[in-house]
Amino acid sequence: MDAPAPSLVAAVLRARRALVRAVRTELAAAGFSDLPRTGALYLSHLEDGPRPLSEIVATTDAPKQMVSQVVDTLVTRGYARREPDALDRRRVSVSLTPRGLAAAEVARAAVAARVDALVAREGAARVRAALEVLAALGELSDAEVGATP
């Protein structure tokens, strides 16, 4: 194939920026302008209930110190709370407060509106195919591309 890598990276980053901008705009309009820059991502990881901090670190693929700082900010601003883990009191779990749940709903609706608009413009089959291709890209192993880890 004719070297699509730079254009693929540019397209993914452009789509990410547009989506993040839309979510942040909707959050600000709904009164959540003090949410940290990456806060909406963390809210989405916590929507389904309390999560151990270690699980948040693993799913965000961010350094533990950075995750702790964002969680601290979410707690300080009333979006989340830390509590002893129900299964292991030595671990800390993070859950959303009612304010955090409300912000997560706004963020989810902003993403859904973008996806709905994309489906209306491009068709459900094309959007589904694009998601499948991006998921496959994310699942490629180093061995499949001949890279050394």
Whole-number pLDDT of residue 140: 84
Whole-number pLDDT of residue 28: 96
Whole-number pLDDT of residue 3: 56
Whole-number pLDDT of residue 59: 86
Whole-number pLDDT of residue 26: 96
* pTM of structure: 0.83
53 with 91: CB under 8 angstroms? Answer: yes
Whole-number pLDDT of residue 147: 67
Alpha helices in 2-123 (DSSP H): 5-29, 39-46, 53-60, 64-76, 98-122
Strand 80-84: give its sheet, edge to edge: 51-52, 92-96, 80-84
Residue 30: how many CA atoms within 13 Å on its side-chain side? 20
93 with 52: CB under 8 angstroms? Answer: yes
Whole-number pLDDT of residue 86: 75
Neighbours of 39 (CB within 10 A): 25
Q: Which domains does the chain have, with CATH numbers?
A: 5-139 (1.10.10.10)
User: From first to last of its 149 residues, what are the pLDDT tens digits of the chain?
Assistant: 565 666 888 999 999 999 999 999 999 999 999 999 889 989 998 998 898 888 898 888 889 999 999 999 999 999 999 988 777 778 889 999 999 999 999 999 999 999 999 999 999 999 999 999 999 988 887 777 776 66
